[in-house]
Amino acid sequence: MKAIRLEQNGGPDVLALADIPVPEPGANEVRVRHHAIGVNFIDTYQRSGLYKIGLPSGLGLEAAGVVEAIGASVTRFKQGDRIVYASGPIGAYAEANVVNEVRAVKLPDAIPFDIAAASLLKGMTARFLLRKTFRVERGHDVVIHAAAGGVGQIAVQWAKHLGANVIAVVGSDAKGEIAKSLGADHIIIQTRDDIAKRVREITGVGAHVVYDSVGKDTFLASLDCLRPLGMMVSFGNASGPPPDINPLLLSQKGSLFLTRPTMFSYTATVEQLDETSADLFDVIERGAVKIAPPAHYALADAAQSHRDLEGRKTTGSLVLVP
């Protein structure tokens, strides 16, 4: 089968299409024939070496497709089921992958494969951020960075659905229009505006919570957006890892809380995975969160999808089609 492989860390050019054997499922695994593969920013960290993976390796953690073979002990799925997974095993950039049955979920009939691959990882991230890491409630002032991106578009809509006052931070006016169309109450242009000053003008005392996936370029400004006892959620490094900070800084800025969560910790058990994905599918099926049609790339063009994602050229989600 065709699969993207990398022999070494580096830029997008290290991604190469190769022929590899079709994997056989172990006792608790299913083999999924992929219809759409999610491209996530974490894939770029694993490609570049910011996050370490064993090499040589495949890439990609998320895909949607049909179960075509099952291991002897599998009970959750049968052949022909439509399923989606978002936590690997690494190697989703391929025509098929084997997945432990407890890491996959059944896909509701109403959700197409490309929408599933565009939204499971990003949507479960939005869900744990808004419902678990900090429980957003009506009237909360919430700052969401990269608001026109994959996670961002879902988070903006979900936060509005919860009744928050959403302050969206984006990289351009065009992206601001997208965030606005999704319901964001206020738009801040990261490359032009003073983020903390604008948030204070909007909120008075500062935001209850900041969801910062940009990292290096925005981390300190995000801390300055918060009211006393506010929650800083640093959940990504799109511009590079955030700076080292002394915990005393959190006290000086008003006894702030700081967390650095990952989706994997919040969906570690099958019960957590089922609860989180069911909540996501529910808001999608009820129309509270609309998943924009993702940009489609051929599997062979995985490198181009990374160039576009890292070049801030994309909005919403990207999928690879085998």
What minimum distance in Å lies between the beta carbon of 41 and ligand NDP? 4
Using rule CB under 6 A, residue 12 touches ligand NDP: no
Q: In sequence order, what E strands does 29-157 have?
A: 29-39, 57-58, 62-70, 82-85, 96-100, 104-106, 141-144
Q: Which of 97, 100, 203, 213 binds ligand NDP (CB under 6 A)?
A: 213
> How many angstroms separate the CA atoms of 233 and 211, rounded?
5
- Closer to ligand NDP by CB, 200 or 312: give it: 312
Structure tokens at 226: 């918060």
CA–CA distance from 187 to each of 215, 231, 277 (Å)? 19, 20, 29
**DSSP code per residue over 195-247:** HHHHHHHHHSS-EEEEEE-S-TTTHHHHHHTEEEEEEEEE---TTSPPPP--H
Using rule CB under 6 A, residue 36 touches ligand NDP: no
Residues 64-123 that bind ligand NDP (CB under 6 A): 121-122
- Closer to ligand NDP by CB, 91 or 149: give it: 149
Q: Which of 3, 6, 36, 42 binds ligand NDP (CB under 6 A)?
A: 42
What minimum distance in Å lies between the beta carbon of 76 and ligand NDP? 23
Using rule CB under 6 A, residue 242 touches ligand NDP: no
Using rule CB under 6 A, residue 48 touches ligand NDP: no
Structure tokens at 296: 């489609």
Structure tokens at 263: 């989706």
Residues 214-233 that bind ligand NDP (CB under 6 A): 214, 217
Using rule CB under 6 A, residue 28 touches ligand NDP: no
Using rule CB under 6 A, residue 182 touches ligand NDP: no
Binding span for ligand NDP by CB under 6 A among 79-87, 108-116, 243-251, 306-314? 306-314
Residues near 193 by beta carbon (within 8 Å), at least 6 away in sequence: none
Rg (CA), the chain: 19
Contact 77, 24 (CB under 8 A): no
Q: Any idea of the CA torsion for 261, 122, 206, 169, to the nearest 10 degrees?
A: 130
Q: Which of 171, 206, 230, 294 binds ligand NDP (CB under 6 A)?
A: 171
Task: Please count the residues of this chain forming the interface with ligand NDP, following the rule CB under 6 A.
Answer: 31
User: Where along the sequence are the contacts to ligand NDP (CB under 6 A)?
Assistant: 40-42, 121-122, 125, 146, 148-152, 170-171, 175, 190, 213-214, 217, 235-239, 261-263, 309-310, 312, 314
